[in-house]
Amino acid sequence: MTQPTFSLARAESFWREKVLPTLIDYIRIPNRSPAFDPDWKRQGSMDRAIRLACDWCHANMPPNSSVKIRELPGRTPLLYFEVPAHPTLKKAPPVFFYGHLDKQPEFDGWRDGLGAWTPVLENERLYGRGGADDGYAVFASIAALKLLADSGQPFPRSIGLIECSEESGSIDLAAHLDALKTELDRPGLIVCLDAECGDYERLWYTTSLRGNLIGELRVQTLTEGVHSGAAGGIVPSTFQVIRAMLDRIENATTGEITLASLHVLVPPDRRREIVEAASVLGDLIWKRFPWAGCTQPRFTDPDDALQANTWFPALEITGADGLPSILAGGNVLRPTTALKLSLRLPPTLSPDAAVQALQTAFSGDASFRATTSFKIHTAIPGWNAPEIAPWLKSALKKSSTTHFGQPALAMGTGGSIPFMQMLADRYPATQYFVTGVLGPGANAHGPNEFLDLRTVIRLTACLGEIIASYVCAVS
């Protein structure tokens, strides 16, 4: 079977005419993930977002397709779509598409004229929360299938799983997968459109993801706040105590995680990918971030920086309790300090092992025998891709060269997608195409998040060609 070249012009026309107006409406919806909006059901934004996507799918899917909002008691909904196989491909393993519709909260620092729920199209970039992470995924998936169908290209049964709890650790996805057992055949190809890209000059495919452990570390020395002058020098500061506890796992000077059990060896094939990607990206690896003043990155060698970002553990404090704002902070020795810890885990490290390592590290007596506790919120695994089949590697290179003008490159991603290891456990022999549009400056989860339109249009064209290559491989 001869593989056709997917039309970039048709992909662009479809995006600008069919997708963009609905994606703009989606950005306006404040459908925060349930971890950030426990009252999401009553608030109604998640239902608005998934209904918007469902209605769009109804109007734009290939003929004889179906789409449904699936609901389970006490769970966020799942958008499930299915496009039937061409008669000649009914026995071919299906293709799965994955994305999510839930969003991170607003965050502050948006520049004038922009906002999380205020879509703005400027210089071919669509600003607003959720457009790039990850509202575009369902539209790009359907666009690729519809354009393939319109061109007469046959493809196998194609299934879409668009969840609404990814930003909360995909807490509801396993239940939906279990409920869909009869519908989910063993896939031949899984497409995940929720990752990063090293730059906007080529197609990037993700070969590893870090895991993530979210926990709450709490220190208490008093039952209530007291005058800081009267107690200072006698009562220990909770901040000082919790800082000393963090020293048990992290070198505060270098930022290195000091627990050996949280490190892994980087596989040789991933090391080769790191070297190749670093040689292309150079200092863009760190220059893509909005640095303040003269702040320097931890590593200025591109190879070291990329390896640290994708295969080393890293700690961030993402929230705190017990700390008043500067304006509200009086002369009080505070009774409690609590920190929300986000620990990124190497791709092949078991989250259970990471939980045990942190619980052990924080279990000993704290300074001055202060009352302490450490509670795990979530612990999700990373993912390391299986060996890429020759047909897929060839399709990635060819489609990227055709539509971006440069061959594709592989790269690990410092973030997490809980879905990937969940599916890898169920389908270890499946091929994976994990990619995304979160390149330099896209700033997912932060202020001024944007979707680069030129990139997503080219990505859609590449996706169409990769599906066509899959057809050739299984025919």
> According to the CATH classification, is domain 8-209+382-474 in 3.40.1710.10?
no
Token reading at 135: 């509202």
Q: 3-class DSSP state for residue 395?
A: helix
Sign of CA dihedral 401, 405, 409, 411: negative
Q: Which H/E stretch holds residue 461?
A: helix 453-474
Q: List alpha helices for 112-237, DSSP H.
A: 136-150, 173-179, 228-231
CB 391 within 8 A of CB 469: yes
Q: How many CA atoms lie within 13 A of 438 on its CB side?
A: 27
Does this model's pTM top 0.75? My answer is yes
128-143 residues labelled b (16+ CB within 10 A) or e (exposed):
bbbbbbbbbbbbbbbb
Which among 378, 381, 373, 320 has a CA at the least distance from the CA of 350?
381
CA dihedral 254, 258, 261, 265 (to 10 degrees): 30
Alpha carbons 377 and 396: distance in angstroms, whole number: 37
Please, what is the Cα angle at 356 between 379 and 373, to 5 degrees?
Answer: 85
pLDDT at 4: 53
CB 165 within 8 A of CB 422: no
Q: How many CA atoms lie within 13 A of 405 on its CB side?
A: 4
Alpha carbons 455 and 434: distance in angstroms, whole number: 15
Alpha carbons 287 and 265: distance in angstroms, whole number: 27
Residue 64 gets the label, from left (phi > 0), alpha (psi -120 to 50) or beta, of left
Contact residues for 393 (Cβ-Cβ < 8 A; gap 6+): none
Alpha carbons 306 and 286: distance in angstroms, whole number: 9
For the chain, give every domain's residue range. 8-209+382-474, 212-276+299-379
Give domain 212-276+299-379's CATH architecture: 2-Layer Sandwich (3.30)
What are the C-alpha distances in Å from 63 to residues 98, 141, 156, 190? Answer: 21, 15, 14, 22
pLDDT at 254: 96
User: In the 8-state DSSP scheme, what is residue 282?
Assistant: T
pLDDT at 75: 98
Alpha carbons 46 and 162: distance in angstroms, whole number: 12
Residue with tokens 């080529």: 202
pLDDT at 6: 73
Q: 3-class DSSP state for residue 419?
A: helix
At position 452, the amino acid (one-letter code) is: D
Query: Per residue of the chain (475 residues), what is the pLDDT tens digit?
Result: 445 567 899 999 999 999 999 999 999 999 999 999 999 999 999 999 999 999 999 999 999 999 999 999 999 999 999 999 999 999 999 999 999 999 999 999 999 999 999 999 999 999 999 999 999 999 999 999 999 999 999 999 999 999 999 999 899 999 999 999 989 889 999 999 999 999 999 999 999 999 999 999 999 999 999 999 999 999 999 999 999 999 999 999 999 999 999 999 999 999 999 999 999 999 999 999 999 999 999 999 999 999 999 999 999 999 999 999 999 999 999 999 999 999 999 999 999 999 999 999 999 999 999 999 999 999 999 999 999 999 999 999 999 999 999 999 999 999 999 889 988 998 998 999 999 999 999 999 999 999 999 999 999 999 999 999 999 999 8
DSSP secondary structure of 376-394: EEEEE--EEPPPPPHHHHH
pLDDT at 83: 97
pLDDT at 1: 47
User: In the 8-state DSSP scheme, what is residue 133?
Assistant: I
